[in-house]
Amino acid sequence: MSFSSSPSSSSSPSSSHAHALTPFGWDEAWEAGFAPYTEQGLVPGRVVRVDRGQCDVMTADGIVRADTAFVTPHDPLRVICTGDWAAVEAAGNPRYVKTYLPRRTAFVRSTSSQRSEGQILAANVDHAIIAVSLAVELDLGRIERFLALAWESGAQPLVVLTKADLVPDPVTLSHLVQDVETTAPGVGVLTVSSLTGEGTDVLAAVVADGTSVLLGISGAGKSTLANALLGSDVMDVRAARDVDGKGRHTTTTRNLLALPGGGVLIDTPGLRGVGLWDAEAGVGQVFSEIEEYAADCRFHDCAHEAEPGCAVLEAVETGALPQRRLESYRKLLRENQRIVAKTDARLRSEIRRDWRIKSATGRANYAAKRGGHL
């Protein structure tokens, strides 16, 4: 990233911040957006870690510890998070984050709580690296779930199949890759081995451009992969259990790290649950072939259940579309609809109305079959 080298710009505080923070993703657009806060005497920095109401922020003068009390709203999606560009007090003890710049992208999932609140995992991410271990049987449904959240976030997903050295047969490995490619249309699929170094150079080239977040369940090899990209054992690594391939939570917080080859990496703890959060567009992107078939259905509101002239069901019958894909599509759409309905009173009312109509139709059909008697 190049900036003006005129005397006026090189001597300004904004320019000095730019040069020091460029390795962490600072660019001219962020600089322009921060201008009003520069006038207030605040300094920019990127949040590299958040815990217990405080955060570590990388500024032009290095990492500072700052309090987030001023940016702790009731909305959990608006709390400060790893990857944010923060406006921090220039001095003070403690120092406070006053606000953060509008996010370009945000990776959000629903929590496991009864309230089904959204939880933001990372902000301002360009690439979502979904790590999947080849040490255990592939869970294609989970991959689809991660992909839906990744697409919805605005980031470009990439599926990385780790521990490729555990599948020495090239034919078997090729079949596994093909299965994932079918599950992830429009998404790159890369096999890597941190043990042999296979694929790590390709991955390093991808993450060198922008900010990447590393996602996956425990035992997927995320921390080992992060160490390979960092060129040193920065992240703690523990062996996965032999019995089921599950890992132990070696990463407990989300950490933002500058990579030696360029780019920024956000490592995350293993995710036990990957709930959707208002991700209808992301689901549509994951199952793009289904939505393409749906465009040819006889009815524009076809539910792809038993309607006449359904192009999606026809694709399943001919074998062009795997039944598993359709079932997974239906499941994720239903789940997403439930989550949205909990926070959208109007949609909740529409769903209940549809339930009443379907219930009445079902009773009428049953009565017809019984000769008009319930």
- Residue of higher predicted confidence among 112 and 34: 34
pLDDT of residue 211: 96
Question: The tokens of 210 are what?
Answer: 């922008």
- The secondary structure of residue 275, as a DSSP letter, is B
Strands, E assignment, 252-374: 255-258, 264-267
Pairing type for strands 62-67 and 54-59 reads: antiparallel
CA distance 314 to 292: 13
pLDDT of residue 249: 41
Report the pLDDT averaged over residues 307-324. Answer: 94
Q: Are 103 and 276 in contact (CB under 8 A)?
A: no
Whether the pLDDT of residue 153 is over 60: the answer is yes
Q: What percent of the chain has pLDDT over 70?
A: 78
H or E element at residue 46: strand 42-51
List own/partner pairs for 300-305 with CB under 8 A and 24 or more apart.
Answer: 304/330
Question: The tokens of 90 are what?
Answer: 């220039």
CA distance 246 to 301: 42
- Which range has the worst mean pLDDT, 42-56, 99-113, 165-179, 208-222? 99-113
Helix 140-153 / helix 170-183 crossing angle, nearest 10 deg: 50
Q: Which residues pair with 202 in a beta bridge?
A: none
Whether the pLDDT of residue 108 is over 80: the answer is yes
What is the DSSP secondary-structure string of 117-128?
A: -EEEEEES-SEE
> CA-CA distances (angstroms) from residue 30 to 80, 209, 307?
17, 16, 50
Q: Which residues pair with 122 in a beta bridge?
A: 107
- Of 108, 141, 143, 144, nearest to 278 by C-alpha is 108
> CA-CA distances (angstroms) from residue 201 to 21, 268, 345?
25, 21, 49
Q: pLDDT digits over 169-222, tens only?
A: 999 999 999 999 999 999 999 999 988 889 999 999 999 989 999 998 888 888
- The secondary structure of residue 263, as a DSSP letter, is S
Predicted TM-score (pTM) of the model is 0.79
pLDDT of residue 343: 65
- Residue of higher predicted confidence among 338 and 214: 214
- Rounded (to 5) percent helix, strand, coil in the chain: 40, 20, 40
- Of 283, 349, 348, 350, nearest to 116 by C-alpha is 348
Q: pLDDT digits over 223-268, tens only?
A: 888 888 888 766 545 444 444 444 444 444 678 999 999 999 998 8
